[in-house]
Structure 1
């Protein structure tokens, strides 16, 4: 029933209220205007558009990997103690040998066994300024990365389209919920007016002693029951409006006016042209999402295969060095020594102990899973289309039936009121017709909700 459907929405409304966005000053909405307003201002739609922009920046980021990379570094090293290195003592042996060969001098004390002596190299203060340039020439994963970035952008655009379809469905449902709740409230108000008039007339007749207390009490009971229904339905209207504001991206205290008429919109919903629309898997938004996921999975496999290929890059380094015994690097009279180098580097994958092969096998299996999902989704979507078409036909048939029942029950109830006034019907007979009338009205309202939901489900499946 519509009561239960609206009550379930109240928690969503108040839990999601902090996420709603204050927007334009528009306060009157047709259904089409409400949909367009929500597309621009709904919280999820804004995030979906942001995701598209993020994907565009991702393409720029990936492209930049293959462009020249320039970096600069400046370093300063100050030794508190210079590093010391031990060298073999080759000097002492050489002196002994020269003395003996040239001068005939023989040492009185035999030459000691060769040892090491410490030597300190370098300067206390050192500075380096370096500029490095690198350029990627070839790398398989870079080429695949560019393709993946484009596929990621396509994915975000498809998700944006899906969000738009979802918001169209949500806004349309919410718009109709408001209209049917208000329609139900108007029916109850009209019924209350006639029922109170009948109750007052009956009370007058009772005061004159022509009828029993039971008749007045019965009408009082009917009025009390109707007042409770009106109170509940009025709250349903408030909740339905809050749910619509949530989908529009408006604050709960923002007043809105709906300009479309329920019957006019209902005539559009009753249109059966959608049943003649050909169903194509490629047009379904969920199938588009899966196809793009399949493309990303294929690129993932391609990326792992590219790890078998070598990568080539070029580089150039320009470096200035200064070595000083005093901290005077800003003294222009002191020299800085230049080093320049350029070259190419090729990284060749040779052996990874089966790691690359395992990655390729995993990627193939993941792609195989998606291909199975593809086959499953085609079958599921075909069944879903048949089911949605059948549900719409059934809902339309039920709605037309409930509309006839509503008109008949209205006619019967009015005659019952007239007969009650004429004294032909008892209060129990009137109560029976009254309950039948309210049930028919409620069934009619619920049939509208079901019809709209069935039509939207079919249109969403067709991505219209």
Structure 2
């Protein structure tokens, strides 16, 4: 039992990695894995919430983690079973084809001047396991030496039932305390895996949304360029445009069609990645019901929540600032200001209020490490408990029998059995006992001493891990905050550039149609527009991914997914 408890406690050693959502909704609920394989299931509509719910229920890695959680519960049951009565039933049959012999001094059995009558025939019969009736006679001048005799019969059997009940064991009491903590650890490991799945599905879903939106935009660009190519071709036929203008537009259209085909394949790949992250078969058709407009958040509110809303820095709550102005004169920083700047940098640019509000327990890794610490303490107590005595109550009852042949053994003759001449003929006899078993460890060569030292070192290692984990969480918090703010600023810039590029393309086209602009100017404007569109959607995806990373860093990703 102590070995089992030891295995349980060691399961919480350092190096651990990372609740199903299941919220009802008014729309169509996502199909289950069994339903996907059923006939009649066509396109599977998925919002982000539905995609996350489906992945949490059906992702194979999560199912494996939940099986590990069930294994942990079964292990706890194994530990608890040591405190219940232990009942055993045993039975055995032996063929003593060569009986063990012992020397017996028959000459001393009679005492005084008498002895037992013993002839060579009697000795031979006894050695062969036969019954010999002995009589008392006067001792001969030379007494008979000790003779070898076989006790017992060739066939022997035994059957018994025993029960034991643990009355006191320090390791078992500690095991009961560790049971609940061990289950919590398994549950937190499952929750860590669920958080990872939420992150993966969210990023894959956003990637598919962005790819789908960009593909739609490319289709509109091709349509617009086709219109321009047609108009230019007609103008060329009328003699008001050069053939070179048509050819330039044709080259531009060919490049745009190739880009559209590449974007289409990348969109299919994004959908395949989303299916993989959800655990959906690749053969299943899915339809994303969310849009980018629903996925985006208010940048100003988000910046204020990050503690980085400063209009004068160009990255304020309202986005980019006004046009640059002359910089203010640089004045030397005071010592107090430099110290404040250092603290701000170390805290990831968090204000004092936000830094104080950060709760490390929101991170599952921190909570898991706390559980590890609790189990390490129980491991130490378990090893110390090895010095305590162990008390058990025992009881046994059974029957043993013997016979000259197998048939004689299995005749099962009880105490009322008699031979023809009235002698007892019983061959099976009952036995029973009750008692207490006390085990007191006295000296084990200092083994327990060194085991306790190892547990203490393990506990200290976990305590050091808290500081490392805090620093790691602080760094992730700072990185996610900075990445999100930067991504928002880039998105604002790309959104502004997109508006400018669209306006430039519109004006260039009007000038070309009115005959005051060149075809080359239109092509250059269209190229710049597509490049700006690509940059805008890349910035848009970066914001969505940075938001997911930010939610994970602050420990609210799983909670938001459930909401």
TM-score by length of structure 1 reads: 0.87
**2:66 corresponds to which residue?**
49
Match of 2:153 among 123, 129, 132: 123
In 1: Cα distance, 2:108 partner to 2:412 partner: 42
Indicate which of 255, 261, 266 corresponds to 2:285.
255
In structure 1, how many angstroms separate the alpha carbons of the residues matched to 2:112 and 2:482? Answer: 113
**Contact 1:133–1:316, Cα closer than 8 Å, also in 2:** yes
Q: In the alignment, does 2:367 pair up with 1:275?
A: no
The 5-angstrom pairing of residues 54-453 of structure 1 reads 54-87=71-104, 89=105, 91=107, 116-267=146-297, 271-272=301-302, 275=306, 278-326=357-405, 327-334=407-414, 335=426, 336-453=428-545
Deviations 1:208-233 (A, max 9, x none): 44433332222122112111111111
Task: Call closer, same or farther: CA 1:423–1:129 in 2, change over 3 Å.
Answer: same
Q: Which moved more, 1:267-276 or 1:147-156?
A: 267-276
Name the structure where helix makes up a greater proportion of residues: 1
After the TM superposition, which segments of 4 or more aligned residues of structure 1 sit over 4 Å from their partners? 20-26, 92-99, 103-107, 268-271
Distance 1:172 1:437 in 2: 29
Change (3 A) 1:274 1:157: farther
Cα displacement string for residues 409-433 of structure 1 (whole angstroms, at most 9, x for unaligned residues): 1121122222223333333322321
Q: Is the 8 A contact 1:23 1:250 kept in 2?
A: no
Q: How far does the alpha carbon of each residue in 1:328-379 deviate from its partner, in whole angstroms, 9 at most, with x for none?
A: 4443544421111111111111111121111111111111111111012112
Deviates more, 1:175-184 or 1:255-264: 255-264
Deviation at 1:313, TM superposition (A): 1.1
Checking the alignment, whether the CA contact within 8 Å between 2:159 and 2:398 is kept in structure 1 is yes
Q: Note if contact 1:270-1:396 (Cα within 8 Å) is conserved in structure 2.
A: no
Question: Counterparts of 2:531 and 2:139 in 1: how far apart (Å)?
Answer: 134
| Equivalent residue, structure 2, for 1:10 | none
SS of residue in 1 equivalent to 2:152 = coil
Higher RCO (CA < 8 A, seq sep 6+)? 1
**Secondary structure of 1:204's aligned partner:** helix
Distance 1:137 1:94, change over 3 A: closer
Distance 1:319 1:104 in 2: 44
Return 421-430 or 116-125, whichever deviates more.
Answer: 421-430
| CA distance in 1 between partners of 2:276 and 2:445 (Å) | 56
Q: In structure 1, what is the Cα distance between the partners aligned to 2:502 and 2:172?
A: 73
Figure out how many residues of one structure are paired with residues of the other and give that number: 437
Q: Which moved more, 1:238-247 or 1:198-207?
A: 198-207
**CA, structure 1 residues 120+76, in 2 after alignment: closer, same or farther (shift >3 Å)?**
same
Instruction: Provide the alpha-carbon RMSD of the alignment.
Output: 2.8
- Measured after TM superposition, the shift of residue 167 of structure 1 is 2.0
Q: Secondary structure at the match of 1:85?
A: strand
Is the Cα contact below 8 Å between 1:55 and 1:149 reproduced in 2?
Answer: no
Deviation at 1:105, TM superposition (A): 10
SS, match of residue 250 in structure 1? coil
Report the TM-score when normalising by structure 2: 0.72
Q: Secondary structure of the residue that 1:289 maps to in structure 2?
A: helix
Distance 1:295 1:84, change over 3 A: same
Residues 216 and 389 of structure 1: CA distance in aligned 2, closer, same or farther (over 3 Å): same
Kindly provide the CA deviation profile for residues 162-216 of structure 1, in whole angstroms up to 9, marking residues without a partner as x: 2222222222211111110011101111111111222232233334444333322
Could you tell me how far apart the structure 1 residues matched to 2:35 and 2:384 are? 50
Q: Give yes or no for contact 1:48–1:163 (8 Å, CA) kept in 2.
A: yes
Confirm or deny: 8 A CA contact 1:22 1:251 kept in the other structure: no
Secondary structure, aligned partner of 2:387: coil
Q: Structure 2: where are the runs of 5+ without partners? A: 1-31, 116-136, 308-353, 415-425, 557-563
Distance 2:360 2:223 in 1: 54
Which ranges of structure 1 fall in alignment gaps of 5 or more residues? 1-19
Contact persistence 1:45–1:163 (CA under 8 A): yes
CA distance in 2: counterparts of 1:193 and 1:93, whole angstroms: 124
Determine the C-alpha separation between the residues in 1 that align with 2:452 and 2:466: 21
Matched-pair contact (CA < 8 Å) for 2:363–2:555 = yes
Preserved CA contact (<8 Å) 2:494 2:539? yes
